[in-house]
Amino acid sequence: MITKDEQHTIEQYLKTIGINTMEFFEEMYDHICTSFENRKDKSQGIDAHIRDVVQPSFGGVNGIIKIRDQRTKARIRLVRKRFGQIFISYFLGWPNVLITFGVILGCWTLSQLFGIKTLITISSICFIFIPLTFFFGKWIQFWRKCKKAGKVYRTSEVYQIFTPFMALALQVPNMTIQSWNMFADKDIYGSLFIHPEICIPLSIIMLISFFTLSKLYKEEFIIKTSFN
Amino acid sequence: MSSSKLLKGSLATIVLRLLEEQEKMYGYEITQKVKQLTEGEFKITEGALYPTLHKLEAEGYLTTETQLVDGRVRKYYSLTKEGNAEAKAKVSELEEFLANLQKVLNPKLGLG
């Protein structure tokens, strides 16, 4: 069995070399612990084991960093591909028909009932503030869980991968609002029905991106904290 | 070409083959299993093994699950349905290659 001090040394080693996401940290940590427990020379200390056995087999610190980066890249590539597949299947399928119908009907009905100002406020809350709050809320929740469990890391690679997608998806509502603004002579609330040929397609893309992200989140981004 | 370079080219096949037999394995276990099967002749470095495992996982051939072992999280890899088919295809491809290589290296044996 491995002592508390030895565990601490391994944790600090991984932290120092920049392994700070749950998935890769836990895998490396278990690997080093198992390797140390099964060492041939039982008189060998943890520092010497890391220096003489672990580091050479990984190709040094740079080798470990390279594995981490390759892993993240492979996962981003996979998620990007999946994002494209879901987006196209929604865009060329029934969801697009329903969304287009819903956007036109929803915009018309809501603007007639409550006015364009309320319509834009509701859209902003639904498609910008709620996803952002959900994303950061989950992140903070995870951060607190790690802190409570006394873990050295504070994030998951899920958040690292999801952040660029989140930023990309938020650009669509941003563009929609900017185009409303641009086509209405600085009157953000007036252009939706003056230039529907711009605003309706952008709103549809925005909604398809939103539904794509929510499906992707369910498929790929469910975080399992296996330490508690 | 050194034997380690030859081994690196066949690493994905070795991993898939081992997982086909063992159902689920973790990284350290794979390195030790190869060492044991080849009586220390083949040594898979972690620097080559983990990128292969992560690549196969990203391609959908492997799936992972975690278990708490001695208070730490252990990540087990196992084959997916696609991984099973890929393992069979890769092994037969390698066997065919070795048979052909044998014919080139030792033509007399091939004629028999």
Does residue A62 sit at the B interface (CB-CB below 8 Å)? no
Does A110 share its domain with A28?
no
**Is residue A27 in some structural domain?**
yes
The mean pLDDT of chain B is: 87
Residue B70: its chain A contacts at CB < 8 A? 1-2, 33
- Tally of structural domains, chain A: 2
Q: What is the pTM of this model?
A: 0.79
Does residue A219 sit at the B interface (CB-CB below 8 Å)? no
Grouping H, G, I as helix, E, B as strand and the rest as coil, residue B45 is coil
Band (pLDDT 50/70/90 cuts) for residue B30 is very high
**Is residue A199 in some structural domain?**
yes
Does A189 share its domain with A86?
yes
So what's the pLDDT on residue B2? 56
So what's the pLDDT on residue A177? 67
Does A53 share its domain with A77?
no
**Is residue A54 in some structural domain?**
yes
Tokens found for residue B17: 């083959």
Q: How far apart are CA A52 and CA A39, in angstroms?
A: 11
Does A11 share its domain with A112?
no
So what's the pLDDT on residue A109? 85
So what's the pLDDT on residue A227? 56
Does residue A59 sit at the B interface (CB-CB below 8 Å)? yes
Does A129 share its domain with A178?
yes
**Is residue A68 in some structural domain?**
no
Q: Which of A30, A80, A219 to mutate to test the interface with B (most CBs of B within 10 A)?
A: A30
Does A212 share its domain with A104?
yes
Does A88 share its domain with A49?
no
Does A146 share its domain with A85?
yes
So what's the pLDDT on residue A41? 85
So what's the pLDDT on residue A187? 59
Q: Domain ends where: A58, A87, A102?
A: A58
Does A14 share its domain with A80?
no
Q: What is the pLDDT along chain A (228 residues), one digit of tens a residue?
A: 789 999 999 999 999 999 988 989 999 999 999 999 999 888 999 999 999 999 999 999 999 999 999 888 887 888 788 888 999 999 999 888 888 888 888 878 887 888 777 777 777 777 777 777 887 888 898 899 999 988 898 888 878 777 777 777 777 667 766 666 666 555 555 555 566 666 677 778 878 887 888 887 777 665 555 555
So what's the pLDDT on residue A54? 94
Domains defined for chain B, CATH in brackets: 3-111 (1.10.10.10)
Query: Is B46 within 8 Å of A30 when comparing Cβ atoms?
Result: no
ipTM here: 0.85
**Is residue A36 in some structural domain?**
yes
Secondary structure of A127-154 as H, E, C letters: HHHHHHHHHHHHHHHHHHHHHHCCCCCC
Does A144 share its domain with A179?
yes
So what's the pLDDT on residue A62? 94
Q: How far apart are CA B85 and CA A147, in angstroms?
A: 42
**Taking CA atoms, what residue in A is nearest to B56?**
A74
Residue A85: its chain B contacts at CB < 8 A? none
**Is residue A64 in some structural domain?**
no
Q: Rounded mean pLDDT of B86-98?
A: 91
**Is residue A63 in some structural domain?**
no
Domain housing A16: 4-58
Does A100 share its domain with A183?
yes
Does A34 share its domain with A80?
no
Residue-wise pLDDT tens digits, B37-82: 988 888 888 999 999 999 998 888 999 888 988 888 999 999 999 9
**Is residue A209 in some structural domain?**
yes
